[in-house]
């Protein structure tokens, strides 16, 4: 088995693939070990965010090259899968990008994608989506362990902001709030604003850990933390597997929550929960982790 490591994994593992740019922005990929890949099973570690479109193209280029080289089973470890939220049609003519991206990855030669808290999968385990075999691993237990440090021995409730977070909070007897999004705003197709977010359980005088699969604009966790506060919650800690923290939302989250953090599936100052050990468990035979 050969492990190929993208430069965008450099904070976690030593890269052995070179990815650069031509002057016009096209990606240039060099796999020094390519001749050794014939007949070997390959695990390729590659982040798909930020610069998701470039990263996806680089993934397709590498997969097809490995396939043409006669590599064996191709496994991709991509901690965060972009386009995963576009898995449903909400208006006529809308493209279901999640399926298409998965299908492209499969067609390029990927035999299994390993990802963490993939948005369209509401459970851990193995499945097939858009023809692509996917293994979804939850990082919720890492988030809960980090929250225990924050709450310093005090008890806390584990809560999700919507039904999609049910599987993230289930192991701790967690409840989920009810979230509804409005239709796309005219001229702003890429975003459906929150319509309502209700909390139908008691959080008065309780510490709360609010867990979501991702924080993008932050609107969901800001509204959820605000609602929990209005319902009398004591300390509120916000945690997500994937922290994109767009539009400087971190400052706004900090105004409603007492603490906020994410894992380092995406590199960010708040990505303080490391996935190193989880990655090592995936490859007990020959981890090349720092």
Residues that bind ligand R5P (CB under 6 A): 85, 161-162, 164, 212-220
Q: How far is the CB of 219 from ligand R5P (least distance, A)?
A: 4
**C-beta of residue 3 within 8 angstroms of C-beta of residue 286:** yes
Q: Which is nearer to ligand R5P, 42 or 142 (CB)?
A: 142
In the bound state with ligand R5P, the residue whose beta carbon lies nearer, of 169 and 279, is 169
Q: What are phi and psi of 212, to 5 degrees?
A: -135, 160
Residue 3 or 220 with smaller CB distance to ligand R5P = 220
φ and ψ at residue 43, rounded to 5 degrees: -115, 125
Q: How far is the CB of 260 from ligand R5P (least distance, A)?
A: 12
List, in order, residues 6 or more apart from 263 with CB less than 8 Å away.
79, 116, 139, 142, 143, 240, 241, 242, 243, 271, 273, 274, 275
Whichever of 3 and 216 has its CB closer to ligand R5P, that residue is 216
| CA–CA gap between residue 161 and residue 198 (Å, rounded) | 9
CB of 181 to ligand R5P, least distance (A): 8
Q: Residue 185 CB, nearest distance to ligand R5P (Å)?
A: 14
Rounded distance, CA 138 to CA 33, Å? 32
Residue 230 CB, nearest approach to ligand R5P (Å): 18
CB 57 within 8 A of CB 67: no
77 vs 214 by CB, closer to ligand R5P: 214
């Amino acid at each position: 088995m050969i492990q190929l490591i993208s430069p965008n994994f450099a904070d976690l593992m030593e890269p052995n693939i070179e990815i650069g740019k031509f002057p016009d922005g096209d990606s240039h990929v060099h796999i020094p070990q390519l001749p050794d890949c014939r007949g070997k099973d390959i695990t390729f570690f590659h982040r798909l965010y930020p610069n998701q479109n470039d990263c996806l193209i680089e993934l397709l280029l590498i997969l097809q090259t490995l396939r043409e080289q006669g590599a064996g089973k191709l496994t991709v470890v991509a901690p965060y899968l972009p386009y995963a939220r576009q898995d449903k049609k909400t208006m006529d003519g809308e493209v279901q990008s999640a399926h298409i991206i998965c299908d492209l990855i499969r067609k390029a030669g990927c035999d299994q994608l390993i990802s963490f808290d993939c948005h369209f999968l509401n459970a851990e385990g193995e499945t097939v989506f858009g023809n692509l075999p996917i293994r979804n691993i939850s990082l919720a237990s890492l988030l809960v362990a980090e929250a225990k440090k924050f709450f310093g021995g005090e008890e806390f409730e584990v809560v999700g902001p919507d039904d999609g977070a049910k599987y993230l909070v289930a192991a701790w007897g967690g409840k989920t709030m009810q979230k509804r999004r409005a239709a796309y705003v005219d001229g702003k197709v890429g975003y459906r604003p929150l319509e309502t977010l209700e909390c139908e359980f008691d959080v008065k005088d309780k510490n709360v850990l609010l867990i979501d699969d991702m924080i993008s604009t932050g609107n969901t966790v800001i509204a959820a933390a605000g609602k929990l506060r209005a319902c009398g919650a004591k300390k509120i800690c916000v945690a997500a597997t994937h922290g994109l923290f767009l539009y400087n939302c971190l400052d706004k989250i900090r105004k409603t929550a007492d603490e906020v953090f994410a894992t380092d599936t995406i590199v960010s100052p708040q990505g303080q929960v490391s996935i190193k050990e989880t990655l090592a468990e995936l490859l007990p035979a020959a981890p090349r982790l720092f």
